[in-house]
């Protein structure tokens, strides 16, 4: 067993079994980040030129349409800031939200305040709860770490379908390298593997997937190569510091702060702050903090101090556990049994990793700007 070690530059540690340290005690994650950030998140004239080029491309592609871009809004900071900034840049976005049944009150208020104050057109899609909760339970029963696959696939499907329907060529994501650039491969797997999800539902589920918004490698080919719809990460071409974005959103659109990253969803809050740390020994704060350290937005000392605290508040987690169990229609003990079951890998189940890897390799090589 590898002895415990933590990076001397960021805070990634041996909870990633594939982590590598050099002679200085720096890990492969921050070394790669600092090399890639020069290209992904340029500075100075290059940043301005690439941003201007992207805005011009979006305007040109959408000049005859009501909307020239689409934004998926969750009520979180990143997507809310993107919605605000693209209007400031002169774009005409359509905001789209996917309601999977787990919205917090804060996220709903944030979306309403955002779209009202920005006078932004907004569409909401509500998933069939009885079907969706059965799919989520199937993934939880499988004991794999990627428990957000149902939501990720549904979001990807709906955003692309709405974009295609409105002839929109650009989906603008709130994803960004500054806070998400570091994420170990051992901690996640491609969220759009429909073969994996269907197999888990067939094995562990009790209902058929009738209304679930599907998205697989064939859809990737159709939307990326035929409809030529691109997902772009505009925050990589802008100065982005989360605390400044929060202050601006509070002032301009009445934004309500909700806590940790992705905690606009009650389910995601519980999964990332309790379920994954307890079941898989994965503390996603390490990846986020490490990205922020390498971006210069957080000191290593601040990160280490924050990590001295558990990733979850025990009282909040117990409340969330009871709430999630009740909403799923299972007992707390049944949920505890899922948490305590031995972890498994997506590789233990049929999947489309081969096809998805090929598609993304080709897309990055020939099409991605």
Asked if 143 and 338 touch (Cβ cutoff 8 Å), the reply is: yes
pLDDT confidence of residue 63: 95
- Name, in order, each residue with C-beta under 8 angstroms of 116's C-beta and a sequence gap of 6 or more: none
Residue 260 pLDDT more than 60?
no
Map out the domains of the chain as residue ranges.
43-366
Q: What is the pLDDT of residue 369?
A: 46
Q: What is the predicted pLDDT for the residue at 300? A: 97
Tokens 């031995």 locate to 342
CB 29 within 8 A of CB 13: no
Mean pLDDT of 158-169: 98
Say if residue 177's pLDDT is above 90.
no
pLDDT surpasses 70 at 367? no
β-pair partners for 71 = 95, 172
pLDDT on residue 235: 94
Query: 242: pLDDT confidence band, cut at 50, 70 and 90?
Result: confident
CB contact set of 146 (below 8 Å; sequence gap of 6+):
139, 188, 189, 191, 346
Mean pLDDT of 84-109: 94
CA 356 to chain CA mean position, Å: 18
Strands, E, within the chain: which ranges?
69-72, 93-99, 122-126, 170-172, 230-232
- What is the maximum span of the chain, computed from C-alpha positions, in angstroms? 60
Judged against a pLDDT cut of 60, whether residue 38 lies above it is answered with yes
Q: Which residues of 282-321 are buried (b: 16+ CB within 10 A; e: fewer)?
A: bbbbbbbbbbbbbbebbebeebeeebeeebbeeeebeebb
pTM of the model: 0.92
Collapsed DSSP state (helix, strand, coil) of residue 229? coil
Q: Do residues 41 and 291 lie in contact, with contact meaning Cβ atoms separated by under 8 Å?
A: no
Distance (Å, rounded) from C-alpha 64 to C-alpha 50?
Answer: 23
Separation between Cα atoms, residue 329 and residue 119, nearest integer Å: 39
Look at residue 360 in the predicted model and tell me its pLDDT. 79
pLDDT band at 263 (very low <50, low <70, confident <90, very high): low
Enclosing H/E stretch for 293: helix 284-295
In DSSP terms, 236 is beta-bridged to none
C-alpha triplet 260, 261, 266: angle, nearest 5°: 75
Minimum mean pLDDT range among 168-182, 213-227, 257-271: 257-271
Q: Look at residue 264 in the predicted model and tell me its pLDDT.
A: 65
CATH class of segment(s) 43-366: alpha beta
Q: Which whole number is the average pLDDT over 252-267?
A: 76
3-state secondary structure of 276: helix
pLDDT digits (tens, 9 = 90+) for 280-325: 999 999 999 999 999 998 999 999 999 999 988 888 889 999 999 9
Q: Residue 1 has what pLDDT?
A: 56
| 3-class DSSP assignment, residue 123 | strand
- Contact between residue 54 and residue 82 where contact means Cβ atoms under 8 Å apart: no
Whole-number Å distance between alpha carbons of 60 and 158: 24
Residue-level pLDDT at 314: 84
**Alpha-carbon span 252 to 58, nearest angstrom:** 25
Q: What is the CA radius of gyration of the chain?
A: 20
């Amino acid at each position: 067993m590898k002895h415990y070690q933590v990076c001397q530059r960021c805070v990634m540690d041996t909870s990633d079994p594939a982590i590598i340290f050099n002679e200085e005690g720096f890990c492969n994650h921050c070394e790669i980040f600092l090399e890639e950030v020069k290209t992904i998140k340029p500075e100075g004239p290059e940043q301005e030129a690439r941003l201007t080029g992207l805005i011009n491309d979006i305007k040109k592609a959408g000049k005859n349409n009501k909307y020239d871009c689409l934004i998926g809004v969750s009520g979180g900071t990143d997507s809310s800031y993107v919605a605000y900034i693209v209007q400031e840049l002169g774009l005409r976005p359509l905001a789209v939200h996917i309601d999977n049944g787990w919205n917090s009150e804060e996220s709903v208020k944030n979306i309403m305040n955002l779209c009202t104050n920005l006078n932004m057109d907004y569409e909401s899609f509500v998933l069939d709860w009885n079907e969706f909760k059965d799919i989520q339970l199937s993934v939880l029963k499988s004991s794999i770490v990627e428990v957000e696959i149902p939501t990720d696939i549904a979001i990807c499907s709906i955003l692309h379908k709405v974009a295609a329907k409105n002839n929109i060529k650009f989906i603008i994501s709130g994803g960004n390298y500054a806070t998400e650039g570091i994420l170990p491969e051992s901690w996640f797997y491609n969220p759009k593997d429909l073969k994996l999800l269907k197999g888990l539902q067939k094995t562990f589920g009790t209902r058929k997937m009738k209304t679930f918004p599907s998205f697989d490698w064939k859809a990737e080919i159709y939307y990326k190569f035929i409809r030529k719809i691109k997902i772009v990460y505009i925050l990589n071409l802008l100065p982005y510091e989360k605390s400044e974005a929060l202050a601006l959103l509070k002032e301009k659109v009445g934004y309500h702060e909700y806590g940790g990253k992705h905690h606009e969803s009650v389910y995601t809050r519980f999964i990332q702050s309790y379920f994954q740390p307890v079941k898989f020994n994965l503390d996603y704060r390490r990846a986020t903090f490490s990205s922020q350290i390498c971006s210069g937005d957080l000191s290593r000392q601040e990160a280490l101090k924050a990590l001295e605290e558990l990733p979850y508040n025990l009282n909040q987690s117990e409340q969330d556990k009871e709430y999630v169990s009740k909403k799923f229609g299972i007992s707390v003990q049944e949920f505890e049994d899922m948490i305590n079951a031995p972890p498994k890998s997506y590789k233990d189940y049929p999947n489309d990793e081969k096809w998805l890897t090929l598609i993304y390799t080709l897309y990055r090589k020939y099409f991605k700007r």
